[in-house]
Amino acid sequence: MTKAPPAFHVLAKPTGAICNLDCKYCFFLSKEMLYPGSRFRMADELLEAYIQQLLEAHQVPEVTIAWQGGEPTLMGLDFFKRSIEYVEQYKKPEQRVSHTMQTNGTKLDDDWCVFFKEHNFLIGLSVDGPQAMHDAYRVNKGGEGSFPQVMLGLDYLKAHEVDFNILCTVHAANADRPLEVYRFFRDDLGAEFIQFIPIVERATEQLLPLANLGWSERAGAQRPLYVQQGSLVTERTVTAEQYGDFLIAIFDEWVKRDVGNIYVQLFDVTLGSWVGQHNLCIFSPTCGNALAIEHNGDLYACDHYVEPDYLLGNILEERMIDLVASEQQRKFGQDKFDTLPKYCRECEVLFACYGGCPKNRFIETPEGEPGLNYLCAGYKKFFKHVSEPMRFMANELRYNRAPANVMAFMAHRDAQLQQLFAKAHRNDPCPCGSGLKFKQCHYRRMGEQG
């Protein structure tokens, strides 16, 4: 047994994969196939054991209890009231417990939001942009869009002043409209915290036609179980180039006007990398401290690896901390670094990426070595693009100054560039430093804009 980490994160799925929506890209819908005949409801005995073991295992004062699904609100409010009671019963004197829930928002009402506010829940609300983009894939069991119901849920959250984040997946229906998505969240929804999650759905050649139909149950049709296999992707999947361009477009607006007011998880995490901190598993050297627990107590290596090969055990049979500290789980986390191809190890932005999430490492490097992240080209483009403002903000932090000072820095830099653009000739090197000729870079962009 290896030494247990002092802290770790668990996504608890009290309803398993059961959800009242039928989002086309939601691979987790298929996971109910792992538990045939189950009621998909976490029993009270397990709820108590989970809370007790989670709090006992943590050797740090801050502990987060995170609920996800499926759709966790299908458990009903009384379940979560009991969870609070167990927290009060089992937390250590020095522990401060915070509560989070990721929800589609369609079941929220006054009662839910009074409870969230009373217990300081942070709610992650799934919204994919304006209605047409959101409803492209986030549909109910009848195939109808869920946008009106989600907006009603958001209204309840706002009315009760519940803290919320927007969780937006990036896919084929919204990837080419980044500023429309970002401005909708910022200006229309009033969101201050935003998380972007790229949709990458792997499939084998045999499975791809079924996967393109989605992961839910279909009457009279074969249903695929999603596992991390295959080198092909579904038609909903964002391309690496799309994702990189999506992030760059939003960053360029954010860094000039919204720093300090709007918090985009990926931008915050990237800044952390520039000062030597790794605050998100996918961009850390190793992983293995973000696990998932199913409705029956089965503990899995990761939310993206809820499949038989990555089942660690059941917390009603073995202590959670022993499973977290197991050789199997520690190897899972260390493999994130140890299996990096040479192409990654020699990359100039390795410090910011560390190969990304292992679930997406299924393409080959230019030299033919396996294990390159499907999103590599997009990540590399983004990290290179943001290098200058990231260096500036990192330096501000080192001197205890506000990173938001970058906005004045960017305004001054842009004014200088405009003066250089005015003097540049078509065949000159572009003053922006891209290495392209002016006519192939900002001259062309200026023509497109004007």
Q: What is the pLDDT of residues 322-348, one digit of tens each?
A: 999 999 999 999 999 999 999 999 999
Cα–Cα distances (Å) from 381 to 129, 249, 301, 374, in that order, read 24, 12, 30, 13
Q: Which residue in 252, 268, 303, 335 is the catalytic one?
A: 303
Q: Which residues on adjacent β-strands are paired with residue 344?
A: none
Predicted local confidence at residue 447, as pLDDT: 61
The answer to whether 7 and 289 have CB atoms below 8 angstroms apart is: yes
Mean pLDDT of the chain: 95
Side chain identity, residue 235: E
> What is the pLDDT at residue 219?
64
CA 211 to CA 236: how far, in whole Å?
Answer: 10
- 22 as an active site residue: the answer is no
pLDDT, tens digit, for every residue of 248-307? Answer: 999 999 999 999 999 999 999 999 999 999 999 999 999 999 999 999 999 999 999 999
What order of strands is seen across the sheet that includes strand 290-293? 263-264, 193-198, 163-170, 121-126, 96-103, 62-67, 9-12, 290-293, 298-300, 311-314
| 448 pLDDT higher than 60 | no
Residue-level pLDDT at 3: 85
pLDDT above 80: residue 222? no
Mean pLDDT of 136-159: 97
- Among left, alpha and beta (phi > 0; psi -120 to 50; other), residue 194 is beta
Q: Per-residue pLDDT averaged across 222-233, rounded?
A: 88
Contacts 24+ apart (CB under 8 A), 337-342: 337/285, 337/286, 339/371, 340/371, 341/365, 341/369, 341/370, 341/371, 341/372, 342/367, 342/369
> For the whole model, what pTM was predicted?
0.94
pLDDT of residue 449: 54
Q: Name the CA dihedral angle for 401, 251, 159, 121, rounded to a multiple of 10 degrees.
A: -70
When comparing pLDDT for 445 and 388, which is higher? 388
List, for residues 367-380, the tens digit of each pLDDT value.
Answer: 999 999 999 999 99
- What percent of the chain is modeled with pLDDT above 70? 97
List pLDDT tens digits, range 4-55: 899 999 999 999 999 999 999 999 999 999 999 999 999 999 999 999 999 9
Determine the Cα–Cα distance for residues 244 and 383; give it in Å rounded to an integer.
9
Task: Tell me how far apart the alpha carbons of residues 310 and 300 are, in angstroms, rounded to a whole number.
Answer: 6
Return the pLDDT at 434: 80
Task: Note the pLDDT of residue 432.
Answer: 85
Distance CA 12, CA 440 (A): 50
